[in-house]
């Protein structure tokens, strides 16, 4: 699933290419998403002049001059491309003469969805060790589930949460409240660092539905990944194992030597 760095990478490409241009038409794929764009979103986009592409957490936002914003969510498997064919085009808009296409094999993406309540992003000034401490210290849920809860912290998904926990030497299945203050401080810094690295690297291209930017370019974050999708820990070389209990529907990778 595209996480904050991947959505930010998409945003930057679109921002540089299309600000000030007009959305001349939009069209839905057949079939479109499970939840098709509402008429209001289509009306807002059609004929609108693009003021900016913005982002909040994993949401991409198209701001139109004088007519509000339309929120996009890439869902589980969404991709946005300039031109580009696939059997999974669910939505497209023409900006100037170019077709910007939203492909989504699993169809959980959204166009025109409400922006939900989201916590601060790890790079925001209000995301401090104190903030994370207050989230974790009374909760018994696994720390990984807590840092992936977008209402608490916006932007981390499976890849970056797995990496941040590894960098902080904390196992993903531990109860939030079991973390000591020093561990929380390390984890807060790791969340921030790992996402910044991901943005700088243009995202991670390593999943089954490999991420590419709108111009078809892969990211470079996968080269720095220490644990996600690996059989051996990138730090100590030991075997990576999965949590016995699933967290958010799947086993979660960690290194038993590096993480406590």
As measured in angstroms, the least distance from the Cβ of 247 to Zn ion is: 19
SS3 per residue for the chain: CCCHHHHHHHHHHHHHHHCCCEEEEEEECCCCCCCCCCHHHHHHHCCCEEEEEEEECCEEEEEECCCEEEEEECCCCEEEEECCCCCCEEEEEEECCEEEEEEECCCCCEECCCCCCCCCCCCCCCCCHHHHHHHHCCCCCEHHHHHCCCCCCCCCCHHHHHHHHHHCCCCCCCEHHHCCHHHHHHHHHHHHHHHHHHHHCCCCCCCCCCCECCCCCECCHHHHCCCCCCCECCCCCCECEECCCCECCECCEECCCCCC
Residues 74-93 that bind Zn ion (CB under 5 A): none
Pairwise CA distance, residues 131 & 72, whole Å = 28
Nearer to Zn ion among residue 86 and residue 257 (C-beta): 257
Q: Does 239 bind Zn ion (CB under 5 A)?
A: no
Choosing from 3, 121, 163, 183, which is the catalytic residue? 3
* Catalytic residue check, 3: yes
Is 175 an interacting residue with respect to Zn ion (CB under 5 A)?
A: no
Site stretch for Zn ion (CB under 5 A), options 13-21, 22-30, 108-116, 226-234: 226-234
Size of the site for Zn ion (CB under 5 A): 7
Which of the stretches 6-14, 125-133, 196-204, 235-243 binds Zn ion when contact is defined by CB under 5 A?
A: 235-243
- b (16+ CB within 10 A) / e for 178-191: ebeeebbbbbbbbb
Between residues 67 and 230, which has the closer beta carbon with respect to Zn ion?
230
- Smaller CB separation from Zn ion, 64 or 161: 161
2 is catalytic: yes
Determine the Cα–Cα distance for residues 197 and 218; give it in Å rounded to an integer: 15
Shortest distance (Å) from residue 58 CB to Zn ion: 28
Among 22, 150, 235, 243, contact with Zn ion (rule: CB under 5 A): 235
Tokens of 43: 């009306």
Nearest residue to Zn ion, by Cβ distance, number only: 233
Q: State in angstroms the smallest separation of the CB of 143 from Zn ion.
A: 18
We find the least distance from the C-beta atom of residue 92 to Zn ion, in angstroms, to be 44
Query: Is 121 part of the annotated catalytic residue set?
Result: no
Q: Examine the residue annotation and report whether 250 is marked as an active-site residue of this protein.
A: yes
Q: Does 225 bind Zn ion (CB under 5 A)?
A: no
> Which one of 8, 37, 55, 58 is the catalytic residue?
58
Q: Which of 20, 236, 239, 246 binds Zn ion (CB under 5 A)?
A: 236
Residues forming the site for Zn ion (CB under 5 A): 233, 235-236, 238, 255, 257-258
Q: Which active-site residues does the annotation give?
A: 2-3, 58, 250
């Amino acid at each position: 699933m595209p996480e904050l760095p991947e959505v930010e990478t998409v945003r930057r490409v679109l921002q540089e290419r299309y600000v000030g241009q007009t959305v001349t038409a939009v069209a839905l794929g057949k079939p479109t998403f499970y939840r098709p764009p509402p008429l209001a979103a289509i009306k807002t986009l059609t004929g609108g002049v693009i003021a900016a592409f913005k982002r909040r957490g994993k949401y991409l936002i198209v701001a139109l001059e004088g007519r509000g914003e339309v929120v996009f969510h890439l869902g589980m498997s969404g991709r946005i491309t300039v031109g580009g064919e696939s059997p999974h085009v669910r939505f497209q808009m023409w900006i100037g003469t170019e077709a910007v296409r939203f492909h989504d094999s699993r169809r959980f993406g959204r166009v025109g969805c409400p922006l939900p309540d989201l916590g601060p992003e790890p790079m925001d000034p209000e995301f401090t060790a104190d903030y994370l401490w207050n989230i974790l210290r009374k909760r018994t849920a696994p720390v990984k589930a807590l840092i992936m809860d977008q209402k608490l912290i916006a932007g981390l998904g499976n890849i970056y949460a797995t990496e941040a926990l590894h960098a902080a030497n904390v196992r993903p299945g531990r109860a939030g409240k079991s973390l000591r203050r020093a561990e929380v401080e390390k984890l807060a810094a790791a969340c921030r660092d790992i996402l910044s690295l991901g943005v700088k690297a243009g995202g991670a291209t390593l999943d089954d539905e490999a991420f590419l930017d709108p111009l078809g370019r892969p990211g470079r974050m996968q080269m720095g990944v220490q644990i996600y999708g690996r059989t051996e820990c990138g730090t100590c070389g030991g075997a990576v194992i999965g949590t016995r209990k699933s967290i958010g529907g799947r086993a979660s990778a960690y290194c038993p030597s590096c993480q406590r």
